[in-house]
Amino acid sequence: MTSGIHVTSEIGKLKTVMLHRPGKEIENITPDYMERLLFDDIPYLPIAQKEHDYFAQTLRDQGIEVIYFEKLAAEALADEKVRHEFLERMIAESGYIAGATKEALMEYLGSMDVQDMVNKIIEGVRIEDVEIKNPDLQSLSEDTDWPFLMDPMPNAYFTRDPQASIGNGISINRMTFKARQRESLITEYIIKYNERFAGKVPVWRDRNHDTHIEGGDELVLSNHVLAIGISQRTTADAIQDIAKNLFKDSDYDTIIAIHIPHNHAMMHLDTVFTMINYDQFTVHPAILDEDGKVDNWVLHPGKDGEITIEHHTDIKAVLKEALNKPEIDLIATGNGDKIVAPREQWNDGSNTLAIAPGEVVTYDRNYVSNDLLRKHGILVHEVRSSELSRGRGGPRCMSCPIVREDID
């Protein structure tokens, strides 16, 4: 077992990765709640689980250690005092700071085996699951059209987003939508109390903020350069905030903040742009103008803890300079075709998980993009994707690297 976090690139040989196997939370999505829960369709759980197991096995077959979010959480919460504090906070963030519902939830969840408790919190707690012995006004007047006392977390299998490994540290993210905000509370406890991480991992930015950042926007390009999307999910002021901490306390001295459209299909930078080799990237052509340019700002440490900011549009030139490469190969999703590119991007054709330089895991359904990657010399491992893709995330979104080998 390797302890702590070590991720100094997007492409260094992946050694340990954190996943979450989709569970019953997926079956708590209904058409009426889809939008609120950030889904566009309802995956068929048994097949989604098979696909996810196939994804995990594909990684293991390449010698990668797969660890599970839900198991790490249960280990972190083994101590009764820690579990009690966690439950209080999780229930408060679910809407119950005090009162009869809170007490009933504490009793219901607190009496479970710790793994069952974690799983149940992720699945969601329905009104009829819990007996409220001495109802108060809040419990009597609860919105009964909404069937949950605690909402399900169906997006938990996108382990990329609630946190991001950067160097030997982590950002524990304040997420944009309510549907995902409690996921990173679980991360907070994993990092603080799971012995694999406890006391070993600096937190570059915690979740106690009003401004948002999500891991799908945080790309570790090298041991001193990050790219971060300014997106539907990540605000410019959050980027500036994490930049300050990283510039002060880590080896990171360059952040390329890339502006992408603020919409659901392209919610994070990694839905339109990923690094797959020392000098190769996937890119969805819709983020570039006709000259192949996109607004981006390069942040560096300035004097007295200040930050310098330069505006650019030539992303190739910016990447060449930041990564010290003579050329950069931007590979267009769906070969840039008007129909194929948006279709394959919708199904996460740009969302590749690099497991080594020039070696990626992608969804099988994006066959045009996959063939193109092969033509550019990339080794592609395809995984099954009929159901998993309905949550709008691909192999990068479904994985949180914990340890990668350094690259030269």
- 268: contact with ligand CIR by CB under 6 A: yes
Q: Which of 162, 167, 393, 401 touches ligand CIR by CB under 6 A?
A: 393
Given the residues 87, 272, 397, 402, the one annotated as active site: 397
Q: How far apart are the first and last CA of the chain?
A: 24
Q: Which of 163, 271, 333, 350 touches ligand CIR by CB under 6 A?
A: 271
Choose between 158 and 281: whose C-beta lies nearer to ligand CIR: 158
Instruction: Provide the minimum distance between the beta carbon of 398 and ligand CIR in the complex, in angstroms, as a whole number.
Output: 8
C-alpha to C-alpha distance for 64 and 58, rounded to whole angstroms: 9
| Cα–Cα nearest to 390, from 347, 340, 333 | 347
Q: Which of 104, 153, 360, 397 touches ligand CIR by CB under 6 A?
A: 397
Choose between 87 and 226: whose C-beta lies nearer to ligand CIR: 226
- Taking residues 52 to 81 in sequence order and writing x for each that binds ligand CIR by CB under 6 A, - otherwise, the string is ------------------------------
Q: Which of 391, 400, 403, 404 touches ligand CIR by CB under 6 A?
A: 391
C-alpha to C-alpha distance for 196 and 248, rounded to whole angstroms: 25
Residue nearest to ligand CIR (CB): 216
C-alpha to C-alpha distance for 27 and 29, rounded to whole angstroms: 5
Q: Which of 25, 51, 70, 161 touches ligand CIR by CB under 6 A?
A: 161
Choose between 20 and 102: whose C-beta lies nearer to ligand CIR: 20
Instruction: Provide the minimum distance between the beta carbon of 389 and ligand CIR in the complex, in angstroms, as a whole number.
Output: 10
Q: Which of 38, 260, 294, 383 touches ligand CIR by CB under 6 A?
A: 38
Query: Is residue 270 within 8 Å of 246, Cβ to Cβ?
Result: no
Instruction: Provide the minimum distance between the beta carbon of 140 and ligand CIR in the complex, in angstroms, as a whole number.
Output: 34
Burial of 345 from C-beta contacts in 10 A (0-12 / 13-18 / 19+): buried
Choose between 139 and 352: whose C-beta lies nearer to ligand CIR: 352
Choose between 175 and 243: whose C-beta lies nearer to ligand CIR: 175
- 152: contact with ligand CIR by CB under 6 A: no
Query: Is residue 205 within 8 Å of 165, Cβ to Cβ?
Result: no
Instruction: Provide the minimum distance between the beta carbon of 269 and ligand CIR in the complex, in angstroms, as a whole number.
Output: 8
| Cα–Cα nearest to 137, from 96, 109, 178 | 96
State how far the alpha carbon of 28 is from the alpha carbons of 20, 35, 49, 76, in Å.
17, 13, 15, 26
C-alpha to C-alpha distance for 41 and 109, rounded to whole angstroms: 29
Number of residues that bind ligand CIR (CB under 6 A): 16
Among this protein's residues, is 400 annotated catalytic?
Answer: no
Helix axes 69-76, 183-193, angle to 10 degrees: 60
**Residue span binding ligand CIR (CB under 6 A) among the ranges 8-16, 20-28, 154-162, 182-190:** 154-162
**Residue span binding ligand CIR (CB under 6 A) among the ranges 9-17, 134-142, 375-383, 389-397:** 389-397
Q: Which amino acid is at 117?
A: M
- 216: contact with ligand CIR by CB under 6 A: yes
- 162: contact with ligand CIR by CB under 6 A: no
- Taking residues 166 to 205 in sequence order and writing x for each that binds ligand CIR by CB under 6 A, - otherwise, the string is --------------x-------------------------
Q: Which of 69, 108, 158, 273 touches ligand CIR by CB under 6 A?
A: 158
Query: Is residue 8 within 8 Å of 50, Cβ to Cβ?
Result: no
C-alpha to C-alpha distance for 199 and 207, rounded to whole angstroms: 18
Instruction: Provide the minimum distance between the beta carbon of 40 and ligand CIR in the complex, in angstroms, as a whole number.
Output: 8
Residue 14's DSSP bridge partners are: 404
- 20: contact with ligand CIR by CB under 6 A: no
Residue 361's DSSP bridge partners are: 353, 381
Q: Footprint of ligand CIR on this chain (CB under 6 A)?
A: 38-39, 155, 158, 160-161, 180, 216, 267-268, 270-271, 391-393, 397
Residues designated catalytic: 397
